[in-house]
Structure 1
């Protein structure tokens, strides 16, 4: 769990630093930084999505995941949690709901979160998660300077998500083979692209309601 703990602390540390710097950054600079980050996230999403070798599986995963996500309405639940915290902060923490949801999705759906957690649980190797911690900490500064302290709450999502994979690594070893991770990462990369479009203000995709799509490649592998 050391890698996950370090990753979570890096996000909190970066968020606190970004919150301190927030007041000294002009609004137009914040807006430009946000758009620049969105473009970077877009590139990450594209690079991961094109690695898929089974596009039909990806399409089916998105469709089925969207159906499940809309029935559960994950997006509503996450936003409600963020809104409740934002109300308690009385507006002092910025756009808590948006920051929490955006950062949680960015930090959790990538391949490094899965591969790093597996290496941590199976081999006690923390190199991937330590690298991810550094990247997440730096991006947390930028995210918090534009979206507010809600970004820090994503550390809870990261700890729960990566911690669960780490603890269940032995059981998951036979399931998360190379092809499954590739397709799972491709689905996650599409979600990251949707998130980038939202950050640019081009769309209003409920990316959280597409999260169940990530599980479909695993179910496909188990069944077929």
Structure 2
């Protein structure tokens, strides 16, 4: 089944998040140091992904257009409102903002990247779920650590993850009918590069170096596909 890898990935995130809830009483200074360590690792992951781009102008135009769309739609505000609403449903959630932060941060970390795209494509095209299962193990451990600092919001990331990866996997079962392999490889590289920069933005926020409205940059993941296609036509 094309969705097997995605469902296993989501299950491992749930397990990791639930285990992380048992470690929420760790002293604050430990959490802060752990979060800094995660932030540095996330920064490295994002940097490696960002280097995948073959045309930096495509990445730049994608981020600019995505930022305009995101600001017009006020995506960040919508995500924060959703996180606040979800947080109000949990009795033990004293910080609704952290629910929103956990949801957004985990969603970006788990959904954006080469493994998410390539793994879903492998599931759909070849029925090979090994990449997504490997990704699930990594995501599960990451979810455990993130939940200890960002709370229950992390577990909510399985909703966009299943929709995102599942849609790619289902689309991939028919993708060779519409998109040539060379074009597909180029799209994957540029999407990965843009996603890598968003991951770097996450790291900067986690390290409290700055405060970037990452949610309002999310449309760049879509605009990069459009811009890359138009670029190939030229």
Give the TM-score taking structure 2 as reference length. 0.91
| Residue equivalent to 2:214 | 207
| Residue equivalent to 2:5 | 3
Post-superposition, which runs of at least 4 consecutive aligned residues in structure 1 deviate over 3 A? 170-173
| Residue equivalent to 2:146 | 143
Q: 11-20 vs 174-183, which deviates more?
A: 174-183
RMSD over aligned Cα atoms: 1.4
SS at match of 1:145: helix
| Residue equivalent to 2:126 | 123
| Residue equivalent to 1:169 | 172
Query: What does the per-residue CA deviation read over 1:31-55, in whole Å, with 9 as the maximum and x for residues that have no partner?
Result: 1111100100000011111221101
Query: Which consecutive residues of structure 2, in runs of 5 or more, have no partner in the other structure?
Result: none
Is 2:62–2:227's contact at 8 Å kept on the other side of the alignment? Answer: no
| Paired positions, count | 223
Give the whole-Å Cα distance in 1 for the aligned partners of 2:228 and 2:67. 19
Q: 1:17 aligns with which of 19, 23, 26?
A: 19
Give the whole-Å Cα distance in 2 for the aligned partners of 1:200 and 1:45. 14
Give the whole-Å Cα distance in 2 for the aligned partners of 1:220 and 1:27. 44
Deviation at residue 121 of structure 1 after TM alignment: 0.8
Give the whole-Å Cα distance in 1 for the aligned partners of 2:137 and 2:66. 31
Q: 122-131 vs 49-58, which deviates more?
A: 49-58
